Structure 1
Amino acid sequence: MADRFNIRRCNPIDASALALLGQATFLETFAGILDGTSILAHCESQHATRVYDAWLQDATTSIWIAETEVGNAPIGYLVLAKSTLPLADLHADDLEVKRIYLLHRFHGSGVGKRLMAEAISQAKLVDAPRLLLGVYANNHDAIAFYIRQGFRKIGERVFNVGGKNYDDVMLVMDI
């Protein structure tokens, strides 16, 4: 199924599609798990077109989008940027997977693995020592996926979603 999708590097005209995809996948992932009002507030502030515009204009940020081969419908994406995770040993050259989301019906298709492979290749290309990410502590499927990709737990943090705090785990992969 994964070979019926294309993954490409984003450009500035993709900001609106990324914002819509970010909102859809965040809502789909966390509806019924996190507080609904908090989800909507988070989507409004953190998945606004302006957020993706800023990332797309930042030379240190890379974004890939996955699209269906037929019709080029966006189904997932990954944002890779300088890490801002609250780690005591954070290296200046560490990179962070800020977002990796895929519409649920495409889970298990290999698209997430292909998106992560792009991030790992980019990290190697720029000689990043580590690849980091934060994930909701109760998102066991996502954590299992990251561990299968070679990540391991490095710490915990509190993550604010629309005014409410939730527990996250922080993961690391040595490059």
Structure 2
Amino acid sequence: MDIRFAQGSDAASLARLGTDSFVAKFGHLYRPEDLANFLGESHSEEKVAKEIADPALRVVLAEDDGNLLGFCKLVMDCGWPEHARGARVIELKQLYTAPAATGQGIGARLMDWALAEAAAFGADEIQLSVYSDNPGAQKFYARYGFDKVADIHFMVGEKRDEEFLFAALLAG
């Protein structure tokens, strides 16, 4: 498995994987119109292309023999400053794997990359949002030193999802 920075030519495949992963895990929670609007705003090819080009984001993908298996996005800024404990806080925006590839160590490789990238950037804390009813993801993040620091929410159309803000302090 290779980990590499995304390029503009990867936008369509990353948008498709983001959509497929979100729908597979959470699609059943939403009204079709809310889900369609959310996916159009958050996982469109245009949005992903802008993220790849944005110097304030780091977008990497995991692939094997040219097959996209997952991706990770780091926002080199604090997502929830009101809950920051560090002085230089960044956000892990998404860590997605292909639905058929879950459990193959892809998330671990991407998380290792994210932690190394955060350290190289000089971050002292990483924040992320995780769905309150996703114990598997919470357990995964806890293995990497993330703890719940706040209750937050996430809107998909008219539906409010209860989320947890997890954060990990990084050794400096």
Q: Is structure 2 residue 96 aligned with structure 1 residue 62?
A: no
In the other structure, the counterpart of 2:45 is 49
Cα root mean square deviation, aligned = 1.7
In the other structure, the counterpart of 1:117 is 112
In the other structure, the counterpart of 2:72 is 78
In the other structure, the counterpart of 2:146 is 151
Aligned partner letter, 2:46 = R
Give the secondary-structure state (helix, strand or coil) at the position aligned to 1:87.
helix
Q: Is structure 2 residue 126 aligned with structure 1 residue 131?
A: yes
Does the C-alpha gap of structure 1 residues 83 and 51 become closer, same or farther in structure 2, counting only changes over 3 Å? farther
Tell me how far 1:137 sits from its aligned partner.
0.6
- Moved beyond 3 Å, runs of 4+: 33-37, 88-92
Structure 2 runs not aligned, ≥5 long: none
Tell me how far 1:35 sits from its aligned partner.
3.8
Taking the aligned partners of 2:147 and 2:113, their CA distance within structure 1 comes to: 19
Does the C-alpha gap of structure 1 residues 59 and 98 become closer, same or farther in structure 2, counting only changes over 3 Å? same
Identity, % of aligned pairs?
A: 27
Q: TM-score, normalised by structure 2?
A: 0.90
Tell me how far 1:118 sits from its aligned partner.
0.7
Does the C-alpha gap of structure 1 residues 168 and 74 become closer, same or farther in structure 2, counting only changes over 3 Å? same
1:158-173 map, 5 Å:
158-173=153-168
Aligned partner letter, 1:74 = L
Aligned partner letter, 2:60 = W
Tell me how far 1:156 sits from its aligned partner.
1.1
Taking the aligned partners of 1:53 and 1:108, their CA distance within structure 2 comes to: 28
Give the secondary-structure state (helix, strand or coil) at the position aligned to 1:147.
helix
Q: TM-score, normalised by structure 1?
A: 0.89
Tell me how far 1:99 sits from its aligned partner.
0.7
Q: How many residues align?
A: 169
Does the C-alpha gap of structure 1 residues 43 and 86 become closer, same or farther in structure 2, counting only changes over 3 Å? farther
Aligned mate of 2:93, from 98, 120, 127:
98
Give the secondary-structure state (helix, strand or coil) at the position aligned to 1:32.
helix
- C-alpha contact 2:85 2:125 (8 A) present in aligned 1: no
Taking the aligned partners of 1:138 and 1:34, their CA distance within structure 2 comes to: 14
- C-alpha contact 1:77 1:102 (8 A) present in aligned 2: yes
In the other structure, the counterpart of 1:6 is 2
Aligned partner letter, 2:142 = I
